C-alpha cells in the first residue's frame, strides 16, 4: 500500500499531528509506504524524522510566506491571507496533478489542503484514489466591521457549506476533524446556511486531540529537567510556533523578565523563535536566552513552570495535556485562533491575553500570579492519532465510514 501524505497549512502544528497519525498507521499496517509533500518548516521536521519527502516539494508554494506577508504586529487577518494564498493554489494543484499522474498511490491524505480538495471536487477525473481530508475548524468569522470582509467571509462560508449540500458528494472519502463537536460553534455559516456543528457532525468523523507524545512519559518533571540540562530555578518557556509572526510577543516577554526577577531572582526565561525567525533578530535583555528551532519543544514545555505561546491549537493543547500553566496570545484578527481560544475556555485551561493591550508590567504581574498559584487543569483526550489511523486503515482496507 502506498500513501501520499500532504502536510498543509501553516507552521509546525499540523506536521506534528501528521507524523503521529503516520506512526499509528504504520503500527496497524506495517507494510505501508508513505511519501510526503510539504513546505518549510514542515519539510524540516519530516526530514528530521527520517521520512521520505518527494522532490516535487521544492516546487510547492509556501503558504507561510503569504501569512507572514499578511501579518501586522501580533495580528493576522485570515481573509487577507486567503486572498493572497489563492494566487498560489493553482501552482500547488499543478504540482499535485503531476505527482499523482506520475506515481501510483492507493490513498492520498491532505491536512487542510483546501486547494487539493477543491480541485478534486471540480475535476472528478483527477481523483483516482481514496482521499482523506483533515480539518480542525469549520467556517470563517468576520473579525472587523469591514463590509468587504463580511462579504468575503460569507462567500467562503457559502462555498464551504454548499459543497456538501443538496446531496452533493464531497471530494473526500473520509473527513477527519481533530477535536470534539463542542469545539465547533453551534451557529450558522451565515444567512440561510446550515449550522456549523450539525454540518460537521454529518460530514466529518471526530477523532479528539492528537499529541506527538504520551503525557505519562513526561510526568516526572524533575527527570525531564535533568535530561534537558535545566536546574531547579523557575523556568519560563515562550514560543511563537512555526512562522515568523510573533517577534513582538517574544520581545514583550523579554521586557517583562527584569520585572519578574524582582520577585524571582533566579528566574530562567527561554524565548523560542522557531525555524523561520532568526534568533538574533529578537531583542532580548541580558540573561534571557533566545533559541531558534527546538526539536521536540513539548519536552521543554513539560519541564517548565510556565509557558507563554501564541493562540495556536497545537502548543496550547500540548500544554493542557501536560497540565503546565500557560498564557496565550491569539493572533488578533485571526478567526481560527479565535476558535482555539473558545475551545481553551471550554476546557478551562490557559489564560488569554491580547498583545495590543498588554504591557511588560501587566504581563509580569500575571506571570507572577500564575507562578505563585497552584494550577490544576482537567485532563483532555490525547488518543486522536490512534483513532484517525484506525479510520484511515479501514478505508484502505475497503471499508467505507
Residue pair 287/254 in contact by the 8 Å Cβ criterion: no
Distance CA 145, CA 217 (A): 47
pLDDT at 337 over 90: no
Residue 241 burial (10 A CB sphere; 0-12, 13-18, 19+) = buried
Give the model's pLDDT for residue 204: 95
pLDDT at 351 over 90: yes
Q: What is the pLDDT of residues 164-187, one digit of tens each?
A: 665 678 899 999 999 999 999 999
Q: Going along 11-81, which residue ranges are E strands?
A: 33-37, 52-53, 71-72, 75-76
pTM above 0.85, yes or no: yes
Give the model's pLDDT for residue 79: 66
Give the model's pLDDT for residue 11: 81
C-alpha distances out from residue 221 to 125, 218, 303, Å: 53, 7, 5
Q: What is the pLDDT of residues 55-64, one digit of tens each?
A: 999 999 888 7
b/e sequence 326-346, b meaning 16+ C-beta within 10 Å = bbbbbbbbbbbbbbbbebbee
Task: Tell which wins on pLDDT, 29 or 311.
Answer: 29
Largest CA distance in the chain: 66
Give the model's pLDDT for residue 119: 93
Q: What is the pLDDT of residues 375-398, one digit of tens each?
A: 888 888 899 999 999 999 999 998
Give the model's pLDDT for residue 73: 66
The residue-averaged pLDDT of 22-34 equals 97
Residues 6+ apart with CB under 8 A from 215: 321, 322, 323, 382
Lowest mean pLDDT among 17-31, 43-57, 232-246: 232-246
The structural domains of the chain, ordered by start, are: 2-210+383-396 (3.40.50.2000), 215-372 (3.40.50.2000)
Confidence of residue 104 (pLDDT cuts 50, 70, 90): very high
Q: What is the pLDDT of residues 32-77, one digit of tens each?
A: 999 999 999 999 999 999 999 999 999 998 887 767 776 666 666 6
Distance CA 183, CA 190 (A): 18
Amino acid at each position: 500500500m502506498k500513501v501520499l501524505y500532504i502536510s498543509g497549512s501553516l507552521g509546525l502544528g499540523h506536521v506534528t499531528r501528521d507524523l503521529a497519525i503516520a506512526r499509528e498507521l504504520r503500527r496497524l499496517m506495517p507494510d505501508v509506504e508513505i511519501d510526503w509533500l510539504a513546505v518549510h518548516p514542515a519539510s524540516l521536521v519530516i526530514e528530521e524524522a527520517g521520512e521520505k519527502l518527494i522532490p516535487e516539494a521544492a516546487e510547492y508554494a509556501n503558504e507561510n510566506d503569504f501569512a507572514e506577508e499578511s501579518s501586522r504586529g501580533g495580528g493576522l487577518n485570515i481573509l487577507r491571507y486567503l486572498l493572497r494564498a489563492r494566487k498560489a493554489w493553482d501552482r500547488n494543484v499543478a504540482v499535485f496533478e503531476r505527482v499523482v499522474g506520475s506515481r501510483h498511490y492507493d490513498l492520498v491524505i491532505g491536512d487542510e489542503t483546501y486547494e487539493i480538495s477543491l480541485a478534486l471536487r471540480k475535476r472528478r477525473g483527477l481523483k483516482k484514489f481514496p482521499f482523506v481530508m483533515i480539518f480542525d475548524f469549520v467556517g470563517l468569522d468576520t473579525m472587523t466591521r469591514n463590509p468587504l470582509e463580511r462579504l468575503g467571509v460569507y462567500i467562503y462560508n457559502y462555498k464551504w457549506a454548499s459543497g456538501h449540500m443538496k446531496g452533493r458528494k464531497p471530494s473526500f472519502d473520509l473527513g477527519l476533524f481533530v477535536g470534539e463537536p463542542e469545539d465547533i460553534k453551534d451557529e450558522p455559516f451565515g444567512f440561510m446556511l446550515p449550522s456549523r456543528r450539525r454540518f460537521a457532525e454529518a460530514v466529518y468523523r471526530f477523532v479528539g486531540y492528537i499529541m506527538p507524545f504520551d503525557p505519562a512519559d513526561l510526568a516526572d518533571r524533575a527527570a525531564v529537567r535533568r535530561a534537558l540540562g535545566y536546574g531547579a530555578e523557575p523556568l519560563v518557556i515562550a514560543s511563537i510556533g512555526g512562522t515568523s509572526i510573533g517577534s513582538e510577543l517574544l520581545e514583550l516577554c523579554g521586557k517583562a523578565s527584569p520585572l519578574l526577577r524582582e520577585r524571582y531572582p533566579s528566574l530562567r526565561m527561554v524565548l523560542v523563535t522557531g525555524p523561520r525567525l532568526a534568533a538574533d533578530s529578537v531583542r532580548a535583555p541580558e540573561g534571557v536566552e533566545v533559541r531558534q528551532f527546538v526539536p521536540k519543544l513539548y519536552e521543554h514545555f513539560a519541564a517548565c513552570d510556565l509557558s507563554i505561546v501564541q493562540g495556536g491549537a497545537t502548543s496550547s493543547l500540548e500544554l493542557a495535556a501536560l497540565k503546565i500553566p500557560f498564557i496565550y496570545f491569539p493572533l488578533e484578527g485571526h478567526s481560527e485562533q479565535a476558535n482555539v481560544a473558545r475551545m481553551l475556555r471550554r476546557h478551562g485551561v490557559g489564560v488569554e491575553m491580547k498583545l495590543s493591550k498588554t504591557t511588560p508590567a501587566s504581563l509580569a504581574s500575571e506571570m507572577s500570579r500564575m507562578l505563585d498559584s497552584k494550577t490544576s487543569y482537567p485532563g483532555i483526550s490525547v488518543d486522536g492519532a490512534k483513532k484517525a489511523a484506525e479510520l484511515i486503515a479501514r478505508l484502505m482496507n475497503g471499508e467505507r465510514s
